């Protein structure tokens, strides 16, 4: 991980924006401005950071490293593809990231999270509070590992997938692109792309 920059922008003035701002501030980084498409938020402040305009207005600002702090995977990935900005990762100072783990750009890692050795967290992923990503796991681009969830050694998450609060993925299991694992579920077998699974053990929900 590179050192945190002195100043950044954040896209998103919702819940993830709040925790991202605080994580950045606790690292000694100033959040110069926040951008959000909700016009009613413009002109307000969020934890001391001004919400200055919609997302496209960032292109009229001086260039600074930027984090997309939006929990919805689809929206986060869309914005990452739409805007060619200098993406920055923010890692809460109470998170543990092993020196042999690999973390991409635009990643948000929150308090109490543990990223173990030789794990890979790809661009624009979110690792939420107290989540554990064990050795040799791979978290693909834009995936979201929710609070208190656990990925055992070698688990693989597809692009834009979501692991719900308190869920567990057993060693070596693969979760497909865009798949959703419900809160508290235990994933014991591979999941296909774009399915939703709940329960212990996790079962795919029939969406028909």
* Residue range(s) defining the domain that contains residue 19: 7-82
Q: Is residue 1's pLDDT more than 80?
A: no
Q: State the Cα–Cα distance between residues 64 and 55, nearest whole angstrom.
A: 14
Residue 103 and residue 58 in one domain: no
Catalytic residue among 42, 92, 135, 144: 135
pLDDT tens-digit profile of 196-205?
A: 999 999 999 8
DSSP one-letter string for 15-54: HHHHHHHHHHHHTT-EEEEEE-S-GGGTT-EETTEEEEE-
Q: State the Cα–Cα distance between residues 16 and 22, nearest whole angstrom.
A: 10
pLDDT tens-digit profile of 50-88?
A: 999 999 999 999 999 999 999 999 999 999 999 999 999
Q: State the Cα–Cα distance between residues 4 and 2, nearest whole angstrom.
A: 6
Q: State the Cα–Cα distance between residues 192 and 85, nearest whole angstrom.
A: 32
Q: Is position 42 within any domain?
A: yes
Find the DSSP H helices in the chain.
15-26, 73-82
Q: Supply the CATH number for residue 146's domain.
A: 2.160.10.10
Q: Is residue 206's pLDDT more than 80?
A: no
pLDDT tens-digit profile of 116-151?
A: 999 999 999 999 999 999 999 999 999 999 999 999
Residue 44 and residue 146 in one domain: no
Find the DSSP H helices in 54-180.
73-82
Q: Supply the CATH number for residue 24's domain.
A: 3.40.50.20
Q: What is the mean pLDDT of residues 148-158?
A: 98
- Give how far the C-alpha of residue 30 lies from the chain's centroid of Cα atoms, to the nearest Å: 20
Strand partners, 49: 46
Q: State the Cα–Cα distance between residues 173 and 45, nearest whole angstrom.
A: 42
| Ramachandran sector of residue 60 (left: φ over 0; alpha: ψ -120 to 50; beta: rest) | alpha
Q: State the Cα–Cα distance between residues 126 and 145, nearest whole angstrom.
A: 6
Residue 75 and residue 163 in one domain: no
Give phi and psi for 12, each to the nearest 5: 115, 115
Whole-number Cα distances in Å, 58 to 9, 30, 114, 169? 9, 16, 32, 38
Q: Is residue 115's pLDDT more than 80?
A: yes
Q: Is residue 207's pLDDT more than 90?
A: no
Helix (H, G, I), strand (E, B) or coil at 191: strand
Residue 135 is a catalytic residue: yes
Higher-pLDDT residue of 135 and 208 is 135
Q: Is position 59 within any domain?
A: yes
Residue 67 and residue 97 in one domain: no
Q: What's residue 208's pLDDT?
A: 54
Band of residue 4 on the pLDDT scale cut at 50, 70, 90: confident
Residue 166 and residue 120 in one domain: yes
pLDDT tens-digit profile of 161-189?
A: 999 999 999 999 999 999 999 999 999 99
Q: What's residue 2's pLDDT?
A: 60
């Amino acid at each position: 991980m590179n050192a945190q920059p002195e100043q950044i922008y954040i896209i998103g003035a919702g819940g993830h924006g709040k925790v991202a701002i605080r994580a950045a501030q606790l690292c000694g980084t100033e959040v110069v401005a926040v951008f959000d498409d909700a016009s009613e938020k413009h002109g307000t402040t969020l934890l001391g950071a001004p919400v200055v305009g919609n997302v496209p207005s960032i292109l009229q600002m001086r260039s600074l490293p930027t984090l997309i702090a939006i929990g919805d995977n689809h929206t986060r990935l869309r914005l990452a593809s739409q805007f060619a900005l200098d993406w920055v990762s923010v890692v809460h100072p109470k998170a543990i990231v092993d020196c042999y783990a690999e973390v991409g750009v635009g990643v948000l890692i929150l308090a109490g999270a543990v990223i173990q050795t030789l794990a890979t967290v790809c661009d624009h992923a979110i690792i939420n509070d107290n989540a554990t990503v064990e050795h040799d796991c791979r978290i693909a681009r834009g995936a979201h590992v929710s609070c208190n969830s656990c990925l055992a050694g070698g688990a693989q998450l597809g692009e834009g997938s979501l692991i719900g609060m308190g869920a567990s993925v057993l060693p070596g299991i693969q979760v497909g692109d865009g798949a959703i694992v419900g809160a508290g579920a235990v994933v014991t077998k591979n999941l296909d792309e774009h399915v939703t699974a709940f329960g212990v053990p996790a079962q795919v929900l029939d969406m028909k």
